[in-house]
Amino acid sequence: MKNDNRLRAWVLVIGILAVMTLAALGVIAVIRSSTQHMLQPVTDLSSDVGTQIAQVLHPTPTIIPDPVTIIYQVRTLARLETIQYSVEKVITAETGQGLFGPFIGDRLLFVAHGYVIAGIDLEKLGPADMWVEDAVLYVQLPDAEIFVATLDNEKSYVYDRETGIFSQGSIELETLARQAAENEIRQAALDDGILDLAQSNAEAYLYRLLRSLGFAEVIFVEPETE
């Protein structure tokens, strides 16, 4: 009888411990869930603060164009563009170099991408520059010229810049590098013979066009030299 009572007592104790364990686990789960919900706003706030600090340290540039637009001149163009060059040039611009370069110097390496467009300005072609003899059309074209020599700002960039310990950097240095790059790109196209190619392409295009108008032959003559 005593053994039965002891067994029942142990079963009761084990049951009570099991119930208490389950209850404790439930309380822990509730506390964990509540803690997560309580910490979530803090986490979101920290994230927002971090984003705001990043925006302060690295602000996004704002471009505000002047609402007033002034048009100085409008011209009618009759340009026949016959060739385009794409040129890449590396420009080094520097100031304050020499013995004191590490202290007051400023140096940058600019990678310039640009293009040059050349052709014939047909506005310079007058009635006296075209005549017909024996069903043959003679044409004296104006000399080819460069219409555009400019940088491609989307592809051009400052590759490297070094400033001295006491130098804040010249605000004009990159501007001077860009100007020099445009001149170098233009000169590179000229050295490669862009004007001769533009002249030949213009003659080839106009030859087909004028022949389609019914002329038996079209001959291009060189301008008379004084």
- How distant is the alpha carbon of residue 6 from its chain centre? 88
Domain boundary among 72, 100, 127: 72
Residue 46 shares a structural domain with residue 146: no
Q: Considering the chain, what percentage of its residues have pLDDT values greater than 70?
A: 65
Q: How confident is the model at residue 214 (pLDDT cuts 50, 70, 90)?
A: confident
The residues, ordered by sequence, that sit 6+ positions from 190 with a Cβ below 8 Å of its Cβ are 146
Residue 71 has pLDDT above 70, yes or no: yes
**Do 40 and 127 fall within a single domain?**
no
**Look-up of token digits 């389609």:** 212
The answer to whether residues 161 and 125 belong to one domain is yes
Same domain, residue pair 107 and 191:
yes
Considering the domain architecture, whether residues 90 and 182 belong to the same structural domain is answered as: yes
| pLDDT digits 0-9 by tens, 104-117 | 678 889 999 999 99
**Do 208 and 184 belong to one domain?**
yes
Query: Is 226 within the bounds of a domain?
Result: no
- Model pTM? 0.66
| Overall domain count for the chain | 2
Same domain, yes or no: 152 and 100: yes
The tokens describing 92, both together, are: 């080094």
- The answer to whether residues 164 and 189 belong to one domain is yes
61 lies in the same domain as 98: no
Residue 173: the pLDDT is 84
Q: Is 26 helix (H, G, I), strand (E, B) or coil?
A: helix
Residues spanned by the domain of 59: 1-72
pLDDT at 67: 75
Q: Count of H helices and E strands in the chain?
A: 4, 7
Question: 209 with 155, same domain?
Answer: yes
Same structural domain, 198 and 143: yes
pLDDT exceeds cutoff 60 at 193: yes
Domain boundary among 21, 45, 72: 72
Torsion of CA 182, 185, 188, 192, to 10 degrees: -130
Single out the residue in 72, 88, 113 at which a domain terminates. 72
Q: With beta carbons less than 8 A apart as the criterion, state whether 81 and 119 touch.
A: yes
Higher pLDDT, 19 or 86: 86
In a domain, 140, yes or no: yes
The phi, psi pair for 191, rounded to 5°, reads -65, -30
- pLDDT score, position 28: 46
Co-location of 160 and 63 in the same domain = no
